[in-house]
Amino acid sequence: MPILFAVFLAAAGAHGGAMQLTSTAFADHQPIPSPFTCEGEDVSPPLAFEDLPAGTKSLALVVDDPDAPDPRAPRMTWVHWVLYDLPASTPGLAEGASKALPKGTREGTNSWGQTGWGGPCPPIGRHRYFFKLYALDTVLGDLRHPTPAKLDQAMRGHVLAKAELVGTYEKGH
């Protein structure tokens, strides 16, 4: 992303600040607690959205792991959750929201070939999990459970701002 475009996105928040994506379950670049993983209840973590830019009509959320399968030799990005058409009025997602999404929210296909949350479950090493929130100037409509690539294509030209939260996880820790 060109630097000037990144600066524009950072300045696009409704209150003059950058759009924010946070969680009460873990801080940025800190470990994701086990209840949100395959070693726990495998429920989606709570997320909060703040300072959406003016003109936001919907939100999209993609959670992925670029360290698969081994962070020392990553070969792919494993996608854990794909959501889009979240209403712009959504202040966030409660813990376990993957079971009861806000009305109008649509789901895409994760790397398991399914919809819904699939928590961290790395085969080896400590992986990074990128929670990426996009503010869009449109509602995308039914994309028929898109892959992240198809969602990315549909979002082109419609992204007003992006916020990111990174969590880490290693089995047995």
CATH number for 119: 3.90.280.10
CA gap 5, 62 in Å, rounded? 20
CA gap 18, 10 in Å, rounded? 5
Q: Which residues pair with 86 in a beta bridge?
A: 59
Largest CA distance in the chain: 44
Mean pLDDT of the chain: 91
Q: What would the pLDDT profile of 64-123 be if each residue is shown by its tens digit?
A: 999 999 999 999 999 999 999 999 999 999 999 998 999 999 999 999 999 999 999 999
Mean pLDDT of 34-41: 97
pLDDT confidence of residue 172: 85
Q: What percent of the chain has pLDDT over 70?
A: 91
CA gap 67, 65 in Å, rounded? 5
pTM exceeding the 0.85 threshold for the entire prediction: yes
**5 pLDDT more than 70:** no
| Phi/psi of residue 129, nearest 5 degrees | -120, 115
Domain span at 59: 3-169
Q: How many domains does the chain have?
A: 1
Q: Is 83 exposed, middle or buried (0-12, 13-18, 19+ CB in 10 A)?
A: buried
Mean pLDDT of 51-72: 97
